[in-house]
Chain A
Amino acid sequence: MVVLDAVLEIQARQANDLAVRWNCKAGKCGSCSAEINGSPRLMCMTRLSSLPLQDPITVEPMRAFPAIKDLVTDVSWNFRAKQTISPFKPRPPDAPDGTWRMTQSDADRVQEFRKCIECFLCQDVCHVLREHRLHEQFIGPRLLVYAAALEMHPLDTEDRVPALRAAGGIGYCNITKCCTKVCPEGITITDNAIIPLKERVVDRFYDPLGRLRRFFGRWAG
């Protein structure tokens, strides 16, 4: 039995109006996020037998988002923030039939990020959002993973680096790796997504030689 089973059992027998989000019950939809004994987890993937059962188990809503009722929080900010990130823009097709070619090793890199089930547990645990409530200045780990999936997409041509620095607030992340620890899909959020994006921002905006090169390039061109 998993924690979600226990919650649904209570809902069916004792509290019909107990509010909880869930859909797939198999760790694929990312709906049933909560804080179980204080740690951000999916309720459907947390077995009761993995918890100390001599004490009561606490199940609480995610704290980085406004509460709606019981275990349900208002996660709509994530959807709004996602919309501010420039969409996928592919290069012209590689073949006359309008298709592209890419190697599996190139696909692998972004497939890791595309595993994300949007459970928002990484957003929940990120102290920039959770403690400092900087939702308007920082898009959070989930959306940095999303941006990384686009930026490192083998076919994409869009440039999101200036936006990641400005509106995305990537500088707020100080690489504590809390997000990576809670990801139920095991995505290496910090090392594989955020740090490479930070490097792109640094190369572009803070590398003095690069700035000089660009300055003279513009001047010469």
Chain B
Amino acid sequence: MTYQTHEHDVLVIGAGGAGLRAAIEASAAGVSVGLICKSLLGKAHTVMAEGGIAAALANVDERDSWKIHFADTMRGGQYVNNWRMAELHAKEAPDRVRELEAWGAVFDRTPDGRILQRNFGGHKYPRLAHVGDRTGLELIRTLQDHGIHRGIDVHMECTIVALLKDGARVVGAFGYERERGRFKLFRARAVVLATGGIGRAYRISSNSWESTGDGHALAYHAGAELMDMEFVQFHPTGMVWPPGVQGILVTEGVRGEGGVLVNSAGRRFMFDDIPELYRTQTADNEEEGWRYTQGDRSARRPPELLTRDHVARCIVREIKEGRGSPHGGVFLDISGIGKRMANAAEHIKRKLPSMYHQFKELADIDITREPMEVGPTTHYVMGGVRVDAETQMSSVLGLFAAGECAAGINGANRLGGNSLSDLLVLGKRAGEFAAGFVRNERHHPGPIDAGQVEAAARRTLEPFERDRSEGEGPYRIQHDLQEMMQDLVGIVRTERELLRAVGSIEQLSARARRVKASGHREYNPGWHAALDLSNLLTVSEAITRSALERKESRGAHFRGDYPSKDAQFGRINIIVRKDKDGSMQVSRQPIPEMPAELKQIIQENE
């Protein structure tokens, strides 16, 4: 077996926002950095982020502060967040946004020339720095264009299949490059996982083919703990029609600009169910909600801007009870603002250009004149690698994680806009502490264990070696897994269905062990999909087992058989780890007591 060897002090796996930010920081600290992209540089899922970056800059409303951002984040996460991460995030996000401007990002402006901020679900004040509805593109391109002059070695179209360890610590990674299908071995003194999400475990998803939980699975198999995996965010508004675009995101910004959700009877159903936790902050009539979206500071937010988990469930209720739209969604209407403002069509095109474009091109719908059809889509996983709040290091020495593949900051539900700020703040910290780990360590990592490398290589090539008659191709298995997760581990879960899901995962795993790849190793998506299956199955099992364990409803996790919140589950996180016998162990981990000053901030903002 042959492979090419690369050596870096810090190896960052994943080149979306978190990975790029970590790589830039590590490189600034003076260590050598390798950056692995599953696709080409700059194509990661971060480009899809639309709404903005949440940061308490207080440019639009001077009443905003890190404390209120912290309180909003904790409330959104239903208080099972890692409070220290939420605190660091709220405090450091403004600096991370200003830093982007220093690196060339061009945000939309306030009348006095500062960075403009917009309203978003769950945020008390206008807080999202944005660029129309393409903020993610601006963020990733800014980091990319800054990063390419930092001496970072970028490995594009490269996939990692295993982390390599020396005893308790990580010493590298093994993978292959897509173009020729050749193996690559990366020796590294610290590894940062920034691989993003798991959306491809579900049939309806806003995520690209890349979101197969690679970092989650790599960490799990390397002995790290996963946390909060039951919390999968279903974004309330994805496209539902035509079928090819099902799941593609419709930004929350549509609702932030005054778009409303309406059922087939023409009723704004979001007024029908406002949760107690948010009642005092929510408008009780349409007029007030409209004024809020237009910047009236005395108005409270419309119920369309309640947290994503709640909005998604209300939409599901309308559809289930027969008040849905023709293609199985509900209506999202921004064209109605024409009744309230002049030049509404121009305003919509300026504020939501890519939404206008997306519906016009893909669905033949002019959103300035007619309503969109939308329904929930798998969007984000709050759960991930359990890491230390200060350093982002996992329970495996030298293994760090940041961004979507790490857990903690978002708790049971992420607020829109907190993802881009999370990946900047905690991505930076991961890079900083990974570099620090490398510089301060006394012992150099030991040699690479040839046995681990050979085992990884053998496993990677197995799909080609299986007898053609024996196995099946990867796409059928992937499709069946996605259908099963959508049906049994979706927005509303029950013990009976979750247990069925556990059984299905076992059967699908057996099929995946016989998956075969046809053709040769050069740029072979079928081979790649066959290798992704194992990661998808690992994260699906983690989600399902964690969902079984949390016998309550909280945030994004809703149990039909336990429909209310249970205070005792509010004091724990669910942890998943790999047992010595290879089975998945689930346990409950008490949440540390919050310091008095943070408690007080939460009380003051209730």
Could you list which residues of chain A lie within 8 angstroms of chain B, going by C-beta atoms? Answer: 1-2, 4-5, 11-13, 16-31, 45, 47, 68-70, 72, 74-76, 79, 82-83, 87-88, 90, 93, 98-104, 107, 110-111, 114-115, 117-118, 146, 150, 153-156
CB distance from A47 to the nearest CB of B (A): 7
Contacts A/B (CB < 8 Å), 5 sampled: A12-B479, A24-B45, A25-B245, A101-B112, A117-B137
Q: Which residues of A contact B3 (CB under 8 A)?
A: none
- In the complex, the answer to whether A25 meets B208 with C-beta atoms within 8 Å is yes
Q: Provide the bound-state CA to CA distance between A79 and B525, in Å.
A: 23
Which residues of chain B come closer than 8 Å to A118, judged between CB atoms? Answer: 42
User: With a CB–CB cut-off of 8 A, which chain B residues contact A30?
Assistant: 43
Q: What 4 additional pairs, Cβ within 8 angstroms, besides A21-B39, A25-B245?
A: A16-B524, A18-B525, A25-B248, A110-B106
Residues of B within 8 A of A69 (CB): 522-523
| Chain B, 36-53, CB within 8 A of any chain A CB | 39-45, 47-48
Interface size for B (C-beta < 8 A) is 66
Cβ–Cβ contact B40 & A21, under 8 A: yes
**B297 vs chain A, min Cβ distance (A):** 21
Encode contact with A along B149-187: 1 for CB under 8 Å, 0 otherwise: 100001010000000000000000000000100000000
B510-526: which have CB < 8 Å to A?
Answer: 517-520, 522-526
**Does B104 lie within 8 Å of A19, measured CB to CB?**
no
Asked if B131 and A111 make an inter-chain contact with CB atoms under 8 angstroms apart, the answer reads yes
Complex interface: chain B residues within 8 A of A1 (CB): 242-244
Give the residue name and chain of the B residue nearest to A78 (CB).
Answer: B40
Q: Mark B82-118, 1 if CB is under 8 A from A, else 0.
A: 0000000000000000100111101111001111100
Question: Closest residue of chain B to A118, judged by CB?
Answer: B42
B134 A28 Cβ-Cβ under 8 A: yes
Residue of B nearest to A83 (CB): B148
Q: How far is the CB of B523 from chain A (nearest CB, A)?
A: 4
One of A20, A23, A74, A90 near B210 (C-beta < 8 A):
A23
B359 → chain A, closest Cβ, in Å? 11
**Cβ of B474: which chain A residues have Cβ within 8 Å of it?**
16
- What CA separation (Å) do A30 and B134 show in the bound complex? 13
Of the candidates B113, B361, B529, which one forms a contact with A101 in the assembled complex, judged by CB atoms under 8 Å apart? B113
How far, in angstroms, from A4 to B361 measured CA to CA in the complex? 14
B357 near A: Cβ within 8 Å?
yes
The contact of A45 among B137, B361, B518, by CB within 8 Å, is B361
Query: What B residues does A82 contact at CB under 8 A?
Result: 145, 148
- Chain A residue numbers with a CB within 8 Å of B104 are 87-88, 90, 150, 153, 155-156
B220 interface residue (CB < 8 Å to A)? no
**A1-B242, A28-B354, A111-B131 are contacts. A19–B108 as well, Cβ < 8 Å?**
no
CA distance A27 to B495 in the complex (A): 39
Of all chain B residues, which has the CB nearest A93?
B102
B362 at interface by CB-CB < 8 Å: yes
Interface residues of B in 202-219 (CB under 8 A from A): 208-210
> How far in angstroms is the closest Cβ of chain A from B469?
16
A75-B40, A104-B109 known; A99-B47 Cβ under 8 A: no
Complex contact A29–B141 (CB within 8 A): no
**Which one of A5, A17, A24, A150 contacts B208 once the chains associate, using CB atoms below 8 Å?**
A24
Q: In chain A, what residue has the closest Cβ to B526?
A: A16
Other-chain residue from B102, B134, B209, B243 in contact with A90 (beta carbon distance below 8 A): B102
Majority secondary structure, A binding face: loop
Q: How far is the CA of A115 from the CA of B135 in the complex (A)?
A: 10
- Least distance between A151 CB and chain B CB atoms (Å): 12
* Residues on A with beta carbons closer than 8 Å to the beta carbon of B138: 114
- Give chain A residues whose Cβ lies under 8 Å from the Cβ of B244: 1-2, 4-5
Supposing A25-B245, A102-B109 touch, asked if A45 and B525 sit within 8 A by C-beta, the answer is no
Whether the pair A111, B109 counts as a contact (CB closer than 8 A) is: no
Residues in B whose Cβ lies below 8 Å from that of A101: 112-114
Alpha-carbon gap, A59 to B217, bound state (A): 36
Q: How far is the CA of A154 from the CA of B134 in the complex (A)?
A: 20
Chain A residue nearest to B244 (CB atoms) is A5
Which residues of B have CB within 8 Å of A2? 244-245, 362
The answer to whether B179 and A68 touch across the interface, beta carbons within 8 angstroms, is yes
Residue in A closest to B101 when the chains form the complex, CB atoms: A100
CA distance A117 to B248 in the complex (A): 17
A29 touches B47 (CB 8 A): yes
CB-CB under 8 A from A22, the residues of chain B are 208-209
- Tell me whether B526 and A11 are in contact (CB under 8 A): yes
Chain A contacts for B116, CB-based, 8 A = 104
Q: Closest 9 interchain pairs by CB?
A: A16-B526, A17-B519, A101-B113, A88-B104, A5-B244, A12-B475, A19-B523, A23-B208, A69-B523
Is B141 a contact partner of A27 (Cβ separation < 8 A)?
no
Bound form: Cα–Cα A70–B41 in Å: 21
Q: Is the CB of B134 within 8 A of A115?
A: yes
Min distance, Cβ B503 to any Cβ of chain A, angstroms: 25
A146 CA to B45 CA, complexed, in Å: 21
User: How many Å lie between the Cα of A62 and that of B202 in the bound state?
Assistant: 32
Chain B residue nearest in CB terms to A104: B109
B35-73 to A contact mask, C-beta < 8 Å, 1/0: 000011111110110000000000000000000000000
- Whole-angstrom distance between the Cβ of B20 and the nearest chain A Cβ: 14
Q: Which residues of B contact A21 (CB under 8 A)?
A: 39-40
**Chain A residues with Cβ under 8 A from B101's Cβ?**
99-100
Q: Which A residues are CB-close (under 8 A) to B526?
A: 11, 16-17
Given A16-B519, A26-B248, A87-B149, check contact A47 B361 (CB 8 Å).
Answer: yes
Inter-chain contact A83/B149, CB cutoff 8 Å: yes
A28 with B179: CB separation less than 8 A? no
CB contacts (< 8 Å) of A17 on chain B: these are 517-520, 524-527
Bound Cα distance from A90 to B474, whole angstroms: 49
Residues 222-274 (chain B) with a chain A CB within 8 angstroms: 242-245, 248-249
* Cβ–Cβ contact A24 & B47, under 8 A: yes
Q: Contact check, B517 vs A107: say whether CB atoms are below 8 A apart.
A: no
Are A70 and B523 touching (Cβ within 8 A)? yes
- A11-B525 contact, Cβ under 8 Å, with A47-B362, A111-B132, A114-B138: yes
| Residue from the list B40, B106, B208, B358 in contact with A107, Cβ < 8 A | B106
